């Protein structure tokens, strides 16, 4: 039987992995569940991703793009005339106001790095890239502190189900900025 050329298969597998984690959590992720979701043979998932960790790295890398897209679309972090605390609070508000399932998925994959060392470097990349972006407006130590604070605020909102309070976020972020 001839092999069918399918250049999008790898991407479909990653997208399917993200949908599986979104629906069933990390515990529901397997090569078999992803193959079924992507409507591809099981061998395709193991061909493109030898281990589940490789698949989760690809999914986390793609999921990390969500917040990066919000940051890039607004572009205000580049403008030294904008209120940094207000802009960061607005960015988080915009991100959380979008598809909450996508945000939860990002954090689920991000937190999976606690138990899966293969994911740690990808999770750290997200923090580092955001800190580098913020450090264009402040010093590197403050930028890292702001990233940690943003992470904490997001986790509290996601875990408690509370509404995001942008004014509160702006106020606490402003307290960290010198």
User: Would you say the C-alpha torsion 156, 138, 67, 12 has a positive or negative sign?
Assistant: negative
- How far CA 48 is from CA of 14, 34, 79, 100, 118, in Å, comes to 10, 12, 41, 29, 16
pLDDT for 4: 66
Tens digits of residue pLDDT in 109-167: 888 888 889 888 888 888 888 898 899 899 999 999 999 999 999 999 999 989 999 99
d(CA 33, CA 54): 15
- What average pLDDT does range 67-92 have in this prediction? 84
Query: CB 159: neighbour CB atoms within 10 A?
Result: 10
**CA torsion angle 42 45 49 53 (round to 10):** -80
pLDDT for 55: 94
pLDDT for 154: 94
- Contact between residue 133 and residue 70 where contact means Cβ atoms under 8 Å apart: no
- Average pLDDT over the chain, rounded to whole? 88
Residue 2 has pLDDT above 50, yes or no: no
- What average pLDDT does range 47-56 have in this prediction? 93
| Domains, the chain, ordered by start | 9-58 (1.10.10.60), 64-176 (1.10.357.10)
pLDDT for 127: 86
């Amino acid at each position: 039987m001839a092999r069918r050329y399918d250049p999008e298969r790898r991407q479909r597998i990653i997208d399917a992995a993200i949908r599986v984690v979104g629906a069933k959590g990390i515990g529901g992720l397997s090569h078999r569940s992803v193959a079924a979701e992507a409507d591809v043979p099981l061998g395709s998932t193991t061909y493109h991703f030898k281990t589940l960790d490789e698949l989760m790295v690809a999914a986390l890398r793609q999921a990390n793009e969500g917040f990066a897209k919000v940051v890039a679309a607004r572009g205000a972090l580049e403008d030294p005339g904008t209120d940094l605390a207000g802009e960061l609070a607005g960015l988080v508000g915009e991100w959380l106001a979008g598809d909450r399932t996508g945000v939860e998925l990002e954090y689920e994959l991000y937190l999976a790095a606690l138990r899966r060392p293969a994911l740690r470097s990808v999770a750290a990349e997200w923090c580092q890239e955001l800190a580098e972006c913020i450090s264009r407006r402040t010093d590197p130590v403050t930028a890292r502190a702001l990233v940690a604070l943003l992470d904490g605020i997001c986790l509290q909102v996601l875990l408690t189900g509370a509404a995001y309070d942008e004014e509160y976020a702006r106020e606490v972020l402003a307290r960290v900025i010198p």
